[in-house]
Amino acid sequence: MNRLQGKYALITGASQGLGRQLAIDFAQEGAAGISIVARNVEWLNQVRKDIQEIAPKTQVLIIGADLTKHEDIERVVAATLCEFNGHLDILVNNASSIGPSPMPYLLDYPLEDFRNVINTNLIAPFLLIKKALPAMIENGGSIINVTSDAGVNGYPGWGAYGISKFGIEGMSQTWAAELEDSGVRVNWVDPGDMNTAMHRVAEPEEDPTQWANPADVTEVFIYLASDESRHVNGQRFQAQEENWGQETQTLAIARSALPFA
């Protein structure tokens, strides 16, 4: 509790699924303000109500935006910084599109769908980081990009989605290397299989109850958003693996670097 006390966060794709749960859990951890972004404003309103019930002190800003649009991205960052008086400590690039369903092979992949997925899943995080960075560099901060197993394995049919996640893994490594010693850290998390709208659309023939609930995978995100991880940069985490898929040493070093560890 209170691991995010006083922190300001921007979470994309927070109208449902993992993003919604992250917003709720960050608020429960004492975040001072959370900017929640998605296209469906009605659902964002519901998320705000859910947050206000459990964490009435957390300031919640709703931003209806289509992240495939450059002007919407600019508005998201500007509105967030305006509401939070220029403060931003945490950026979670979570919003993603799975693309057409059933998922076509690349040979049959429509160009417009391909562009839409890459714009949402890769170009939007690139632009959001670029635009948020000046505010984050001032006080240090944490950027968390959401990836997938499909970002390290080329599964047939996972087309533009998988390619966008390969992209976000590479982009995260590059940002992390370029920002080393800047005070802003960049890490990326594969949440693993979750029972969400996206996964139900991607694999409609599977039983979704075999997959984790978003609430089961948020601990690593809280860790990465909190000061406990402030010496962790350029790392890939797997939310459902033991030690989040990390060498225990990495976590131990990060923890021992804390003055109170």
Ligand X SMILES: NC(=O)c1ccc[n+]([C@@H]2O[C@H](COP(=O)([O-])OP(=O)(O)OC[C@H]3O[C@@H](n4cnc5c(N)ncnc54)[C@H](OP(=O)(O)O)[C@@H]3O)[C@@H](O)[C@H]2O)c1
Catalytic residue numbers read 161
The answer to whether the beta carbons of residues 134 and 77 sit under 8 Å apart is: no
Instruction: Tokens 């594969």: give the residue.
Output: 190
Please say which residue, 172 or 196, places its beta carbon nearer to ligand X. Answer: 196
In this complex, which beta carbon is closest to ligand X, that of residue 26 or of residue 211? 211
Q: Please, which residue, 122 or 136, has the CB nearer to ligand X?
A: 122
Structure tokens at 221: 């995100």
Contact criterion met (CB below 8 Å) for 27 and 54: yes
Looking at residue 141, its amino acid is G
- Output the smallest distance, CB 117 to ligand X, in A: 9
Would you tell me which residues interact with ligand X (CB under 6 A)? 13-19, 38-40, 43, 65-68, 94-97, 120, 146, 148, 190-191, 193-194, 196-199, 211
Q: Where are the alpha helices (DSSP H) in the chain?
A: 17-28, 41-54, 70-83, 111-118, 124-139, 159-179, 197-202, 219-225, 248-256
Give the count of alpha carbons within 13 A of 13, CB side only. Answer: 22
CB of 95 to ligand X, least distance (A): 4
Nearer to ligand X, 16 or 28 (CB): 16
- Taking CB atoms within 8 Å and a gap of at least 24, the contacts of 113-118 are 113/160, 114/159, 114/160, 116/68, 117/159, 117/160, 117/161, 117/164, 118/160, 118/163, 118/164, 118/167
Report in angstroms how near the CB of residue 12 gets to ligand X at its nearest. Answer: 6
Rounded Cα gap, residues 134 and 124, in angstroms: 17
Closer CB to ligand X, residue 19 or residue 33? 19
Phi, psi of 235 (to 5 degrees): -115, 145
CB of 93 to ligand X, least distance (A): 8
What single-letter DSSP state applies at residue 123?
I
Closest residue to ligand X, judged by C-beta, is: 17
